[in-house]
Structure 1
Amino acid sequence: MQIKKAIDKIPGGLMLVPLFLGALCNTLAPGTGKYLGSFTNGLITGTVPILAVWFFCMGASIELKATGTMLRKSGVLVVTKIATAWVVAMVVGSFLPLTGVQTGIFAGISTLALVAAMDMTNGGLYAALMNQYGSKEEAGAFVLMSLESGPLMTMIILGTAGIASFEPQLFVGAVLPFLVGFALGNLDPELRKMFGGAVQTLIPFFAFALGNTIKLQVIVQTGFAGIFLGVAVIIVTGIPLILADKFLGGGDGTAGVAASSTAGAAVATPVLIAEMIPDFAPVAPAATALVATSVIVTSILVPIITALWAKHIKKASTQTAPAAAPAE
């Protein structure tokens, strides 16, 4: 059976299929983990410890060496994405309560869901698109995008926007595994290779545990709102990213379009934030389902829009190129 190939055909499948299976388990047999106990319970309820190891390995996989072009390009995109999410938090947080929208077709939409979906770029998707439509330096610009992974940036955005307050030690605790992994990975290439190889392997495990925190009813209820969120992520973050890429990053906007997605890792953010701030606990399941849908929507639409944008840019440059002088 070619299970892995089948999963890979689904946008974000390595994250979303185990997430769905976890939600299925939690819907049909919510007490399975507690009933079986031991290691099975650990797999079903171990979202935080599994993610802690994943963040450590993610940090170890990042190599410090990078060209100035890569750092400038990735820095511009990362800062723009985070700044846009912060503006959204400031605006939406001024009128939307922590509990978010409770009824209607937008039920489940909250500041937490919006920020979690908008402040992280799917680095793998970006690199793949820029390998096809951009330059080698632009493809390598995902080097800093991994720094967005995890709840730290979401914590900073929510904190500075006045939506929530976090104790200083919580910030340290959120980033410490990543920093330790980053240090070890750059001190020893063998450690980077060993720990970095576990990044993809751990995704299905924390996705399954994460799925066990939500129920299928929530996924169905937030269906339209999730699609809306995905489209909103592309529009709201895509426009500033295109402008930043053109005027600050020295590009033609293609990299900006390619970066206007939601990272698979963002699906874990609502639950992790709720672990630290219990006030967010009521909206965490809906926010998780919304962000998961946004991952799917952006994974499908961003490649299409990027291809159309690159084709438009190429056509425009061809039309504006000076005609060759006639041969005498």
Structure 2
Amino acid sequence: MRIKAAVERVPGGLMTVPLGCGAFLATVAPHMGEFFGSFTGALFTGALPILAVFYVCMGATISVDSLPMVLRRGGALMATKIGLGVLCGVVLGHFLGAQPVRSGWFAGLSTLAVVAAINDTNGGLYMALMKRYGTVEDAAAYSVMALESGPFITMVTLGVAGLSAFPWQTMLGAVLPLCGGMLLGNLDSELRTFLGGAAPVLIPFFAFALGASLDLHLLWRAGLLGLFLGLATLLTSAVVMVGVDKLIGGNGTAGIAAATTAGNAAAVPMLVAAANSRYAEAAKSATVLVASSVIVTSLLAPLLTAWWYRLANRECRIRQVKSGHPG
């Protein structure tokens, strides 16, 4: 049986197929991990440890000479996501304020829901897609983008940054595994080969764990509005970030891969409401809507990224032929 070949025929298959399996099991048997416990339970809940190891392995493949590119790419993509969140926060805040829409087709939609959905990128999905369709520097760029994780940036965007301090430990912890891998890889070429070869193997495992945190029932509960928020987040972010990615030397693929909503973003509305009670009412519906955006963007971003990657490569080959230098 050619299982691996069949999985790889699916766009981003090594990521999306395990993620879909995890989401399916989390929906039909939500307590399976707890029931079996031990190593089986760890497969359902171990996304962060596996991602930490993935960072070390990825870091080992990065040359010190490429660091400026990593910082430039990660910083540009992060700034763009934050900028989009600020723009939506200013525009929607002018019309809605802190409260959700109370009636009509958009009942439950709020500034908080939109900003939380846009601000935080799904790092595991981004790195898996970049491992398949991008460069090592593109994948490593998420170590910079990881600083947008959590409620802090959303609070800043909503104008309540004074209620929260940015923990420096979190900032440092986001890049330490990558830095450790880089140190080992640059000191020893054999370690670079050894650790770098393990990175692709880890992708299906953390993808399954990420999927196991998604309940597909949330997509149904959020209804068309949740679907709309997910599609709007993905498409709006992708259009803007493709342009930014091209400006910093990419072909747009990394921009689309970063146009997602992170799984932990679903917790942001409640954290913001805990810091500022003005958002307490909006947080209830925002949690479900953001969770829906997580699912929608996680399922569609790999398809859109794969399509754009093929399109960009075809255009590149056409330019090479016209210039008389077919690569």
TM (norm. structure 1) is 0.70
Q: What are the equivalent positions in structure 2 for 1:118-197 lying under 5 Å apart?
A: 122-124=129-131, 127=134, 143=137, 145-149=139-143, 152-155=146-149, 161=157, 165=164, 166-197=166-197
Aligned-residue offset at 1:79: 4.0
1:261 aligns with 2:218: no
**Percentage of matched positions with identical amino acids:** 30
Aligned length: 288
Residues 241/42 of structure 1: CA separation in 2 closer, same or farther (3 Å cut)? closer
Superimposed CA distance per residue, residues 155-205 of structure 1 (whole angstroms, 9 cap, x where no aligned partner)? 485576567643111212222222112211211111121121121111111
Q: Distance in 2 between matches of 1:177 and 1:97?
A: 40
Match of 1:302?
Answer: 308
Take 2:195 and 2:204, find their aligned partners in 1: how far apart are those partners?
16
Question: Is the contact between residue 18 and residue 204 of structure 1 (CA under 8 Å) also seen in structure 2?
Answer: yes
Q: Structure 1 pair 27/296, CA: closer, same or farther in 2 (3 Å)?
A: same
Q: Is the 8 A contact 1:81 1:237 kept in 2?
A: yes
Say if 2:131 and 2:200, in contact at 8 Å, map to a contact too. no
Q: Secondary structure at the match of 2:255?
A: coil
CA distance in 2, matches of 1:104, 1:229: 15
Greater mean deviation of Cα atoms: 255-264 or 277-286: 277-286
| Contact 1:116–1:291, Cα closer than 8 Å, also in 2 | no
Gap runs ≥5 in structure 2? 274-282
Please name the residue that 2:279 is paired with.
none
Distance 1:98 1:169, change over 3 A: farther
Where in structure 1 are there 5+ consecutive unaligned residues? 128-139, 250-254, 319-328
In structure 2, the partner of 1:47 is: 47
Deviation at 1:151, TM superposition (A): 5.9
Which residue does the alignment assign to 2:25? 25
Q: Which amino acid aligns with 1:240?
A: V
Task: Output the amino acid matched with 2:193.
Answer: K
**Residues 16 and 146 of structure 1: is their aligned pair in 2 closer, same or farther, counting only changes over 3 Å?**
same
CA contact (8 A) 1:61 1:185 kept: yes
Correspondence for 1:288 among 270, 279, 294: 294
The residue type equivalent to 1:54 in the other structure is: F
- Which secondary structure does the structure 2 equivalent of 1:214 belong to? coil
SS of aligned partner of 2:64: coil
Letter of the structure 1 residue corresponding to residue 15 of structure 2: M
Q: Does 1:233 align with 2:228?
A: no
Deviations 1:223-259 (A, max 9, x none): 45434333223311123344x25xxx5xxxxx44344
Whole-angstrom distance in 1 between the partners of 2:82 and 2:308: 22
- The amino acid across from 1:112 in the alignment is A
Find the aligned partners of 1:87 and 1:286 in 2 and give their Cα distance: 22
Paired position in structure 1 for 2:199: 199
Check whether the contact 1:117–1:263 (CA below 8 A) recurs between aligned residues. yes
TM-score (norm 2): 0.70
- How far the C-alpha of 1:97 sits from its partner, in A, is 8.6
Q: 1:270 aligns with which of 263, 277, 291?
A: 263
1:301 shift after superposition = 3.7
Cα distance in 2 between the residues matched to 1:22 and 1:101? 33
1:85 match: 81
CA-based RMSD of the aligned residues comes to: 4.1
How far apart, CA to CA, are the structure 2 residues paired with 1:313 and 1:50?
40
Deviations 1:54-76 (A, max 9, x none): 2222222212245xxx966x665
Measure how far apart 1:313 and its partner are.
6.4
User: Post-superposition shift, 1:287?
Assistant: 4.1
Distance in 2 between the 1:106 and 1:84 partners?
A: 26
Correspondence for 2:119: 115
